[in-house]
Amino acid sequence: MANIRLIKRRIKSAKNIAQITKAMELVAASRMRKAQAVALAGRAYAQKIYEMVAYLASRVDAIHHPLLAGPKKISGWRTIIVLSSNKGLCGGLNTNLFRFLNREYPDMGKHRYVVLGSKAAVFVSRMAGGRVMADFSQTVPFAHNVAAITAMVAEEYTGGKTDGVDLVYNEFLSAIKQNPRKKTILPLTIEGVGESKVKSHLPADATHQALQAGKSKVQDILIEPDPESVFAALLPHYLENQIRDAILQAEASEHSARMVAMRNATDNATGLVGDLTLVYNKARQEKITYEITDMITARLSVVE
Amino acid sequence: MYFQLDIVTPDRTAYSDAVTALSVPTPNGAIGVLPKHVGLFTVLGDGEIKISTGSKELFLAIGGGFMQVTREKVSILVARAVHADELNEKAIKDAEAAARAIVTSQVKGEELAAAQAILRRSVLEMKVMRRHRTPHISPLGSH
């Protein structure tokens, strides 16, 4: 019967799919372990340097380094670095990120974008065509782009071409949980750090004024050898580190999401094989019964 | 009197505990930190960190980085930090490899610089390791 052959074919293809997704799951799992180890190892450092810079930025004069200053003129847009994956098949990871991006920046066409990952490149150019400044998707691993991106956004910012720089990426929380996240790296905002006396939502120049006003309250802090050379070393390093950390987190998220997605696909395929086998057996039994009935009917008619 | 010290590198947290005194290398010479030190932020150079925990002294070989001293704690961020007891024959091998690299590839500036960095590091690690094997008490700040 044609029906039985059809079912058999479907079982076979479901089995093949399960095999492929299983293999992809294993690959993703081993990549995830590596990416996860790297991402988690760097997290403490990234967190510390973020706190350090915020702490210092709230306590010193902005004249010591161009990156300390607030935006020169209000251009009305921000530079957004969007980190997605190059490949799909990772569940809702990218979709969630893009939805988040859309929500955080309702008028996407106003801002400028640096994208890593071809999924982000496609999405951003669809939503805000012509506002993509650079697409670094082709250089893998993405961590190799850190220096170039840092130089680019730092120049944009000090040149007064942008109001600030944000990172949008999937933060790696655990193998089954990733969270879209926005992190502002420029201007050097002071968000909830330690005993900071400055309001977090103030831009850097307002912070500076607030500091001037209450100068006596500012903690006596020595900077050695001198603020210029400290900031010249610290700030580029800070930017690079923050971008690198985001990239590593995004990579760990991608592999975890893919692993989970592939496991679900394998489970679904296996379930489908089970269901189809049941249908197949039923059809086969039906066929046998039919044949027996047929034979008996034939015999009876011959005997008579 | 103790204060909290954290030494963090991009790969790991190399040290996190309460200590009594600390000595770090800066481009302008060593700085000693005792409890209730004034707020300080400084650049660190390649060199060794000496940690006193009251009962014993620890040495770490570090790459360049930054140190932040606040009233509550001291945070050190460095490119690299290796405990004296983590150093072993590997350091010697590194030094050898670096020496060989310099001899063979003197032509290329960038490689030469990298080899010199490795050599500098392994010399430093050897120093820390020797220090660790023959502990001697030196008053802090006598650098």
Domain match, A96 and A156 both: yes
Domain match, A266 and A173 both: no
* Cβ contact, residue pair B10, A52, below 8 Å: no
Which residue of A38, A40, A47, A48 to mutate against B (max B Cβ within 10 Å)?
Answer: A48
* Cβ contact, residue pair B75, A52, below 8 Å: yes
* Cβ contact, residue pair B42, A223, below 8 Å: yes
Domain match, A79 and A36 both: yes
Tell me the pLDDT tens digit for each residue of A95-132.
999 999 988 888 888 888 888 989 988 888 888 877 88
- Contact A93/A253 with Cβ under 8 angstroms? yes
A233 touching chain B per CB within 8 A:
yes
Which residue of B26, B66, B70 to mutate against A (max A Cβ within 10 Å)?
Answer: B66
ipTM score of complex: 0.70
Domain match, A173 and A243 both: yes
Share of chain A above pLDDT 90, in %: 35
A194 touching chain B per CB within 8 A:
yes
Tell me the pLDDT tens digit for each residue of B23-71.
999 888 888 999 888 888 899 988 888 999 888 888 888 888 899 998 8
Which class is domain B3-84? Answer: mainly beta
Give residue A10's domain range.
Answer: 2-20+262-303
- Total domain count for chain A? 2
pLDDT band at A203 (very low <50, low <70, confident <90, very high): very low
Domain match, A198 and A279 both: no
Comparing alpha-carbon positions, the chain B residue that sits nearest to A235 is: B66
Q: What is the CATH number of the domain that holds A280?
A: 1.10.287.80
Contacts of A263-272 with C-beta under 8 Å, sequence gap 24+, read A263/A21, A263/A25, A264/A91, A265/A17, A265/A18, A265/A21, A266/A18, A266/A21, A266/A22, A266/A25, A269/A14, A269/A15, A269/A17, A269/A18, A269/A21, A270/A18, A272/A14
Report the predicted TM-score, pTM, of the whole model to 2 decimal places: 0.77
Q: Regarding beta strands A79-83 and A165-174, do their DSSP bridges make them parallel or antiparallel, or are they unpaired?
A: parallel
Segments making up each domain of chain B, as ranges = 3-84, 86-131
